[in-house]
Structure 1
């Protein structure tokens, strides 16, 4: 009798064990893959209204697509961003996307992602890596073009005039793609008019506070500023405060050209305090989520995807403001 009971117990335990191993992934040791895409995204920071709108677009679009989003704010520091990318790799996310703080210094961590079989998408900003296989695609604005159209508008304003035009430039974060490219595009465009000359150029780090501080220094050092070219609206808005505090009229005494077209910038343009804005749309979320799905599925994508954008004068800003989403 003892042997029969023992045998029955052994059979029962074996059956229970087999059931636990073959329960279709319901056991604790074998989690079920629900097919949900996990996206690791590292953002530059929250330095401007543009960046805030960009983050919101990505978060809302990921939720709408049903993706699990692991979000990290680099707070403007490359070392934070590299740590975030390595964390995404360790977590074995399906796709990594990030907006690089600066252009250089990414090859090592991008190779780590490639070796782990995790595709990478660059958003808004590019990297200067010679190895284009380290990322699948780059989606964002044509920063050089934004600088070019800004410079071309200014050249047209002074067409037929030969008097010297003194320009000060508020650059974005040193070493970043938009700062490098917008500076180059603008300089190339105004080179067609020898009387247009940049007399001072300094980084305001894409922030309103930085724009105000640098513009205050410009105004103290130069009494004859005709034009301000700011690499984004926020720096232009900070500079506007400095110009008014110095007793000058922005948009009249000093022509102001900026890039982005966020609501505050567009309002300044509509009010005549700015004179021209080249658009740089932050609403990349929907396009990014489409790309994430494609690269996750191994589909071919274009290596460079440019967002559709426009420019604004005062009257165009007035017309666009009521429906502006950012």
Structure 2
């Protein structure tokens, strides 16, 4: 069983809500939000592989960034009377009605990766996912440390993720809360790039064209894929990523570690996609009528270019 950090703000007595059938086969319906990045592909693979290892039948539907597609998939899971529904939500709002439908059907829900913003938290059993705000905090602290000896007027560019998504909102908020300690650090440009390489390159090209002779000195990308796209744009613009523009990213993919070893990315804040075993364990606990914490956080770290070569062989994605 993987080591996890749990934050117990509330616990749910499963046995009072859902029937226990620990020894029966479990069928899980999983609504994945998309396949927009290497991180997402690793997340899906982890869940598929863990379901096989746990002997849980997995019905997987990929919404490809559409909340309406997620609603349709969830309603199909209800019709099939699955035992557990797991949801990785595209955005954090707009979930009350569909979650109420699931509750009325008597099916427990696990939210994974991204959170949902609902007043009634009894609509789901637990949330398994990273602390995105803390990831932003880590990125901000690295930025302060890296730029501590730079003269004033630090220009920062930010590549945001999907509009309205929990990681984009919380990473940006955590980063800003830290860098405000220094009055001369300013985010001069910030725009969504949809967590994709293509989006990162396109938006970074726009940033560089708009900045002209005063390009940003630091880039905070909300995921590795956008950072990799931005690196392509920076090099085509005639600048050196990692030196002319300090780059901080989030995820921890093997490709990002390769970029750190090459000196093109300065730091990566880890966001662990290998959440499958935690999800299957939660499903077993729910079906066994056991109590779960309301929040489960996988262990994560921050890696810098100086030590990337020591870690790259441990990357599983």
TM-score, reference length from structure 1: 0.89
Partner of 1:200: 189
Which stretch has the larger CA shift, 121-130 or 311-320?
311-320
**1:94 pairs with 2:83:** yes
CA RMSD of aligned residues (A): 1.2
CA distance in 1, matches of 2:176, 2:314: 33
Contact 1:99 1:122 in 2 (8 A): yes
Q: CA deviation at 1:98?
A: 1.1
1:247 to 238, 249, 252: 238
**Equivalences for 1:80-229 in 2 at 5 Å?**
80-159=69-148, 161-223=150-212, 224=214, 225-229=216-220
Q: CA deviation at 1:323?
A: 2.4
Q: Residues 34-84 of structure 1: CA distance to partner in whole angstroms, max 9, x if unpaired? A: 821000001111100000000000000000000110000000110000111
Q: CA deviation at 1:162?
A: 4.2
Corresponding residue SS for 2:141: helix
The alpha-carbon distance between structure 1 residues 268 and 160, as it changes in their structure 2 partners (threshold 3 A), is: closer
Gaps of 5+ in 1: 1-33
CA distance in 2, matches of 1:272, 1:247: 16
Partner of 2:11: none
Partner of 1:279: 270
Q: CA deviation at 1:246?
A: 0.4
Q: Residues 218-257 of structure 1: CA distance to partner in whole angstroms, max 9, x if unpaired? A: 0000132101100000000000000000011000110000
Contact 1:167 1:229 in 2 (8 A): yes
CA distance in 2, matches of 1:159, 1:315: 18
Contact 1:119 1:296 in 2 (8 A): no
Partner of 1:19: none
**1:307 pairs with 2:298:** yes
Q: Greater CA radius of gyration, 1 or 2? A: 1
**Equivalences for 1:263-274 in 2 at 5 Å?**
263-274=254-265
**1:292 pairs with 2:283:** yes
**1:47 pairs with 2:12:** no
Which is richer in helix? 1
Corresponding residue SS for 2:97: helix
Contact 1:232 1:259 in 2 (8 A): yes
Partner of 2:16: none
Q: What is the number of equivalent residue pairs in this alignment? A: 294
Corresponding residue SS for 2:102: helix
**1:258 pairs with 2:258:** no
Tell me: higher relative CO, structure 1 or 2? Use CA pairs within 8 A at least 6 residues apart.
Answer: 2
